Amino acid sequence: MMARLPGPPIKVYWINSEGGTLHELPTDVTNQADPTWSPDGQSIIFGEPTNIWAESGKPKAIYISNLKSGQTSKISGSDGWFSPHISPDGRTMAALSLDIKRIGLFDFATAKWRDLPQAKGPNGPFWSADSQWVYFNDSEDGVWRLRVKDGRSEFLLSTSSILPNDSCFATGFTREQSIILPCIRRNSDLYALDWQ
């Protein structure tokens, strides 16, 4: 998880799935964000927050922190990328460029990056169960997906057609492979409170 306590910068923490002590990553990276498990389950991969969140103008990258050794290292070629997301098969990592205009794919076997330029501004990437597609949100018109093997993009659905006056943002899939689409209702009820 990532959290910001009063005062300190944004940090990544981990805890045993059965509960227990909250652990902080042993790293010198000041601000940490978007944690995800490595394919072998022994390390946590994380990025640094964008300029909107913290440390505007500072170079950003993606790191891997081994929980057994306590060593943290920068992932090769990850400068300028953030928001790492590991594919279900553990072979590929998707990340966003700091200007939020491109999706990059990192191959763990070759340690190489592939840049997938986008005309749309991708946000909130998540993977298909077969690791063949990266799905993402576009604030203007809805949900898209990119095919990993050739970078071809496809428009899937318009979120504005579901709830025209509300904001919807795809986050992943159910077990039945339906897209999860949380929405923020703008037409909320208003209440008056008499304070005494």
173-194 pLDDT, tens per residue? 888 888 887 777 666 666 666 6
Q: Which residues contact 14 (CB under 8 A, 6 or more apart)?
A: 1, 22, 23, 25, 35, 44, 67
Q: What is the mean pLDDT of residues 99-117?
A: 88
| Complete edge-to-edge strand list for the sheet that includes strand 92-97 | 81-86, 92-97, 102-107, 112-117
pLDDT grade for 44, boundaries at 50, 70 and 90: very high
| Complete edge-to-edge strand list for the sheet that includes strand 123-127 | 123-127, 133-138, 142-147, 153-157
Q: What is the mean pLDDT of residues 8-18?
A: 84
Cβ pair 143, 162 in contact under 8 A: no
Whether the pLDDT of residue 10 is over 70: the answer is yes
pLDDT of residue 77: 94
Q: Any idea which of 30-44, 47-61, 96-110 has the lowest mean pLDDT? A: 47-61
Pairing state of beta strands 92-97 and 11-14?
unpaired
Q: Which residues contact 56 (CB under 8 A, 6 or more apart)?
A: none
Residues in the chain: 196
CATH superfamily to which 1-117 belongs:
Tricorn protease N-terminal domain (2.120.10.60)
pLDDT of residue 174: 85
Q: What is the mean pLDDT of residues 153-159?
A: 83
pLDDT of residue 162: 67
Report which residue type is found at 61: A
DSSP three-state, residue 125: strand
Alpha-carbon span 80 to 55, nearest angstrom: 14
pLDDT of residue 95: 93
Report which residue type is found at 179: I
Alpha-carbon span 87 to 130, nearest angstrom: 9
Whether the pLDDT of residue 83 is over 70: the answer is yes
User: Where does CATH 2.120.10.60 sit in the chain?
Assistant: 1-117
Alpha-carbon span 78 to 80, nearest angstrom: 6
Q: What is the mean pLDDT of the chain?
A: 83
The residue that leads in pLDDT, 2 or 65, is 65
